[in-house]
Structure 1
Amino acid sequence: MCAYLLIAFVEQRNSDWVPNMMAMLAQSSITFNALAALFGSLSKALDVKTRDTNGLAVSEVNGCNYCLKIHSFTAEHMAKLPGDEIILTRKGHASDPKRDAAVQFSRKVIEFRGNVSDTDLNAEREAGYRDANVMEIVALVAMYSLTNFFNSVFDPEKDFPLVAPAGSI
């Protein structure tokens, strides 16, 4: 989670509250600093709606409920996505055609462990993404997967309400 997410959560709660995931990661300054640098760099990639829909799509595929709640919060409050768009994204699509291509590509990167087809890559290009943008999408997939994995391994106490699996929505 990058600094802007932490600031958003603190502002929302009007306190000095720190999400449990951040407290967990702080146990390793090396890991925390590496993630902070990665989040900081990738916070400049693409636009906020594409980044947040990527986080939702990746967390849904990886089954990380902790991250799904965080990304649902940021998608609603920071990217200003309506609830139905958040659900649509968790189900693997977006209403905007370009973002839809990014969401579908992100899911394929996860599901096929990066072994996407030339057709998949060309679909991104046809949607308007340059190769540099596709690299950013892949980097976002990796970054969000990393936090999903930390949360799955260490299972921090849930400080957000759980969200229902997309298939049951």
Structure 2
Amino acid sequence: MQHENATGKAAELLAGVQKALGVTPNMTKAMANSPAVLKAYLEFSGALSGGQLPAPVRERIAILVAQENGCDYCLSAHSYIGLNLAGLDQAEVDQARKGEATDPVAEATLTLAAAVLRSRGGIDDADLKTAREGGLSDGDVTEVIAHVALNVFTNYFNKAADVDIDWPVVRHDQ
């Protein structure tokens, strides 16, 4: 579905994306095939953007999850957003792809995100202890889990729908 062909609720949601971002990413155009899916993504993403994790940390999680899941669309998008909107530098983006950070709280966040992702949510007491020792609160832990879930959703969606990358391309295997 192209943005120009959208009608009803899909057109309304895509107009909101265009207004908020100044562009309508291909992912949201593809999601508009089901207005319920696009609405769910926008609401989940919007709610988490108002959480306590700062934008640079959220982008690091998204980069790590995209790298781990081999989603070039999301890796490209979040590398761009991290560099151009969230204040990360190229070294920080590269580190995030490996689940690393020089900032101790960001490092603890990525360690937890990797544990959540790799265990499919089956983290244990040792993972939580490491997160808390790294400076994460219970609220932070909760949000990390939610960000991993949101990014797994977008990774799976973009890979399954084979969404054309409309960001400067970053490949997970390079």
Shorter-normalised TM-score: what interval? 0.7 to 0.9
Aligned residues: 158
* SS class of match (2:153): helix
The CA deviation string for residues 18-56 of structure 1, in whole angstroms up to 9 with x for no partner, is 211110011111111111110111001211111110111
Distance 2:156 2:171 in 1: 19
1:32 aligns with 2:32: no
For structure 2, the 5+ residue unaligned runs are 1-15
1:83 aligns with 2:95: no
**Equivalent of 2:27, from 21, 26, 32?**
21
For structure 1, the 5+ residue unaligned runs are 11-16
Determine the structure 2 residue equivalent to 1:70. Answer: 77
Q: TM-score, normalised by structure 2?
A: 0.84
What letter corresponds to residue 82 of structure 1 in structure 2? D
What letter corresponds to residue 46 of structure 2 in structure 1? G
Q: TM-score, normalised by structure 1?
A: 0.87
Aligned residues with identical type, % of pairs: 34
Contact 2:80-2:168 within 8 A present in 1 as well? no
RMSD (Å) for aligned C-alpha atoms? 1.8
Aligned pairs (5 A) from 1:1-169? 7-8=20-21, 10=22, 17-45=23-51, 46-165=53-172, 168=174
Q: CA deviation at 1:115?
A: 1.2
What letter corresponds to residue 97 of structure 2 in structure 1? R
Distance 2:18 2:95 in 1: 22
Contact 2:27-2:158 within 8 A present in 1 as well? yes
